[in-house]
Chains A and B, each alone.
Chain A
Amino acid sequence: MAKKLGFFLCTGCGIGEALDAAALTKVAAKEYKVPVCKEHNYLCSAEGVDLIKAEIEGQGLDGVIIAACSSRVNADVFRFPGVFLDRVNLREQCIWSHEPNDEDTQMLAEDQIRMGIEKVKAGEVPTPYLGENLSKAVLVVGGGLAGMTAALESAKAGYPVVLVEKEATLGGWLNKVYKTTPMAAPFTTPEDPNVAGRIAEIEANANIKVYTGAVIEKIAGGPGMFDAEINQGGNIVAERVGAIILATGSKDNVAQLDHLGYGKYPNVITHAQFEAMAKAGNIGAKKVAFIQCAGSRDPERLPYCSAACCVETLKQTIILKELAPEAMAYVFYKDIRSSGQYEHFYKAAQETGAVFIKGDIKGITEAGGKLVVESEDILLGGTARVEDIDLVVLANGMIPTTKATEAIVAAAGEGDAAAEAAATQEAAEKILNLQYRQGPELPNLKYGFPDSHFICFPYETRRTGIYACGSVRAPMDMAKAVSDATGAALKAIQCVEATAGGAAVHPRSGDLSYPEFALQRCTQCKRCTEECPFGAINEDAKGNPLPNPTRCRRCGTCMGACPERIISFKNYSVGMIGNMVKAVEVPEEDEEKPRILILACENDAIPALDMAGINRLKYNSWVRIVPVRCLGSLNLVWVADSMSKGFDGVLLLGCKHGEDYQCHFMKGSELAEIRLSKVSETLDRLGLESERVRMIQISIMDYAELPKIIDKFAEDLEEFGPNPMKGF
């Protein structure tokens, strides 16, 4: 806890004109006996910052409250290492959102200052968790194109690499192709897969240790201290690594292709079989039909597009021309998805004379030993019927290898050990085998691809320090897989560096705090171990949590989940927020000044509140705003505290959850909503309207709606009348 505090009030930007500055300082100086209290009319100026620095040094301050603008601005200016700092927002969320020189605005400012002081009193600068025997090595699981790339790129940056491949040789899918699609400009010519060259480069790199014919037996620990057991032909080898890259790729979909004659007619083959024929130099066909989206973009089969099949087929039409110059290629397609610079490749394929027919396949039949393809023809109208076909090549899609473990993940998510074991048995496929309480594999999104914020932060999975790349992460072509693996290598080395310094990775990058558990008070309820969105907490046989600080993303979901309130961070705790809530001066009922506590997610709701201020949108000044790391850190005791304190209502502002979730910690806001449903019952039992506690999902762009949301809530609370617990 901070011992010696300093309070600095900025009166610039109109704060001094809109508020009674002397009265604000009095809150700190008289009520809280803060030993150092200063006012300045331009605190973010060099002079203002020097003033703060001088007091920190001269008076030995270790806690500083700056009452000025939002913490979203001037973060670089007010940076005082070693000092616990809180910024009380008197600008965006006070004078820009409320009437100047108004009693209610003044009361708001004073309460926000009280809360800021309580926060600094309760907080301290964290000392990082530094694990023992930390490793900076990167484990790459999967030795195909993506895995080999990730291994090489990490090694070239100077990091040791352990590369594990289940087949006897490296190369994966590359071993099966005659040529690859072009990897670089001008994107016109198929390339030699160069497996031998790639393997030689890996073997020549002293930083890379390769295990072929090997699988992961299990992985325990967390970033910086993963202990992997590698099973190479029954021989178990232990490796300690710092981060993991999952590059196990995909499998080609051969299920449910009978509607296209696969399995029925021997000359209906898959894309991979065509490659094998080309590799053998043996394409005896004169007329070849390529069927795109074979089993893909199909709600009954694979609903998604496999993203690579179009360019792979374009490649095969070019290969066909090379190996069988007289042969004709017909490509039946829905859309040719040679995205971006692969347009040049499309053109190259068209120049070989391949015929492209757009439409859905109506049927593939055999007549006189040859195949017949019938399809809708959108461009020419009617039906296209191509006869005398020697070979039908199906551009069958890809299924991520993680799909096989989906049932395991689901069973683990439900805490059903028996179902998990059964699913593991059935999958007959081990990938990571994480010794995590929440299950052995990465949590997936739809279709088996790993869960992540796939737009903004595509590499961040729900298992810290484990990054997926290549076609296991999303369907993609080979050039993309190379780039994807290169980026994953960066994330892996970034993780080991952050962990070495005890710092969090995204989204609270650099945060040195971590949750500490007062285990003597633990009741083994397992909520923390179940709810952590990142599977950071294991359990012992009795149900006690076994935290793994290097896996932690510092969202505080465990802290919010814990009914015994035994989990806290040095700079964020249940007690801290509780003290802030209790510091608010709640007027008596007859003063007709209701109070509303807003617990707002600092990632989106707080900026939205700031934006409301920047746009000078006014809202009810009964609110008292407390930023939280994530609504997942909401501990229900805060609701109880605020109700017993006499607050008339509590508004929880968190991010959108569900399928298209926006919560930066993936599950936080959803868990808060679940918790809240429980508190509603309690409130009803106590005779309090459960509507006094309301949760709203908002995004950063809802700033214009926010004042309406707040005002509506205030109106509703007026209708309910004052909190009957007020004054007790």
Chain B
Amino acid sequence: MANKSILVVGGGISGITAAVEAAEVGYEVFLVEKNPYLGGKVSQINEYFPKLCPPNCGLEINFQRIKKNPKIRVITMAKVENISGQEGNFDVTVKINPRYITDGCTGCGKCAEVCPVERADDFNFGLSKTKAVYLPQPFAFPMKYVIDSTACNGASCGKCAEVCEFKAVDLAMGAKTMKLNVGAVIWATGWDSYPVEKLANYGSGTVANAISNLMMERLAALTGPTAGKIVRPSDGKEPKNIAFVQCAGSRDENHQKACSSVCCMATLKQISYVKKQYPDAKVTIYYMDIRAMGKHEDFYNKIKEYDITMIKGKPSEIKEDPETKDVIVLAENQITQEITELKYDLVVLATGMAPATAVAKVPAAVAYDVDGFVLSGSVPGIYAAGCVAKPGDVASSVQGATAAVIKAIQSSVRG
């Protein structure tokens, strides 16, 4: 008899959706996430387009669904190392990295109060700091602390262990390996921002005030490093003249060939962030096509009501003014066919979506497309969902993850 349980790898919106949708049909689910919290990229986003509503609202409901459902087992800080077997009967090895905090943590936060060490907060792209023992993000689920061993002074300090009345600090915790047997696998490890380091003509990440669109989300978020105030990273100044550069690393023969499909709407949304804070700010978009699909056209029209300058074309070069740290954008003026050199306080690069498998492949013989996206079902019983399968927004990731679940169920039925 085939194993009826389903392994979901990746705890972002696609993985969470796959897990709850499968469990609510009645299947046992293992949800494996590499971070110490669920929510993935969505938890870093300030608002969703087109409603401009907070992602934490939908996440909260999904977390409630997980909490209520004993069929879902969440395994954080974990990585799937090996998958063997076939549809209906996969043996899976999962490595669980040490959290140094046990399940006994109540989230009271006393450890962080006494911790003497700080670290750069990766949730905020290093724009803020946390203690070495920290709550991974304000809405963290599970609401348990974690220790960054690269920052922690270890047993020689031990202040956190001393103060924890619940003895939930275990500085000697080691990695563990877990074996699972499942009927099907849904791979939903998502995406990474296409590395700006690879964009040599855009300064390879050395231009301080040319930020990624994901960093813009953190700058605009109440839970971000600036409590929601959009400022220049170099000097904390309010930007008055901002450019958005679309397709940075996508729709590009030298980088990601595919279109990342969300960046247009993300930029339109981020224009609303800027305009709400700085109604007089000058906004320019460099674009190839504005892809506001379907009903999103309404949102595009709404944003166009702001006075924005739209320049069709991809900048050839982005560099920094060493004195002012302003950002200089070189592009061709489409009407005059002249190269223009314009200066901005802040430039937001709409860096595209690189599949997470560009860095961490599926440990099975699955096939990939030309941009590295996983071909779902290329190994029977292993399905891809969300942005590791195709670049997409939240709605399409949720939709695709739901679709992946019935494929996984069919594997159980067949296998």
Contact = CB atoms under 8 A, between A and B. Distances in A.
Contacts of A664: 61
Contacts of A1: none
A456 interface: yes
B175 interface: no
B51 A486 contact: no
Interface in A461-496: 474-476, 480, 483-484, 486-487, 489-491, 493-494
A221 B170 CA distance: 56
A106 B57 CA distance: 31
A44 B410 CA distance: 39
Nearest to A305: B297
A458 B166 contact: no
Given A45-B166, A340-B259, A335 B290 contact: yes
A305 B293 CA distance: 6
B258 A603 contact: no
A311 to B, nearest CB: 11
Given A304-B298, A484-B399, A339 B291 contact: yes
Nearest to A446: B295
Interface stretch (B17-25, B123-131, B203-211): B17-25
Nearest to B25: A494
B223 to A, nearest CB: 8
A204 to B, nearest CB: 16
Contact of A157 (B61, B222, B373, B406): B406
B24 A701 contact: no
Contacts of B154: none
Contact of A603 (B61, B294, B301, B335): B61
B390 A341 contact: yes
Interface in B108-146: 108, 138-139, 142-143
B87 to A, nearest CB: 13
A498 interface: yes
Given A157-B410, A509-B68, A336 B390 contact: no
A186 B260 CA distance: 16
Given A455-B51, A490-B405, A497-B26, A185 B370 contact: yes
Contacts, number: 229
A656 B294 contact: no
B398 A449 contact: no
Interface in B273-327: 289-298, 301, 312
A186 B369 CA distance: 7
A575 to B, nearest CB: 25
A604 B259 contact: no
Contacts of A335: 289-291
A14 interface: yes
B294 A457 contact: no
A12 interface: yes
A40 to B, nearest CB: 12
Contacts of B178: none
Nearest to A483: B403
B174 interface: no
Interface string A630-673: 00000000000000000000000001100010101000000000
6 contacts: A459-B402, A487-B402, A509-B20, A509-B24, A700-B54, A701-B56
Interface of B: 20-21, 24-26, 48, 50-54, 56-58, 60-65, 67-70, 104, 106-108, 138-139, 142-143, 165-166, 222, 251, 257-261, 289-298, 301, 312, 334-335, 369-371, 373, 375, 390-392, 394-396, 398-403, 405-407, 409-410, 413
Given A304-B298, A339-B293, 20 more contacts: A12-B166, A14-B108, A44-B106, A69-B106, A156-B413, A185-B369, A304-B295, A337-B289, A341-B373, A455-B53, A455-B398, A486-B402, A489-B406, A490-B25, A506-B24, A510-B65, A510-B69, A604-B60, A655-B57, A700-B54
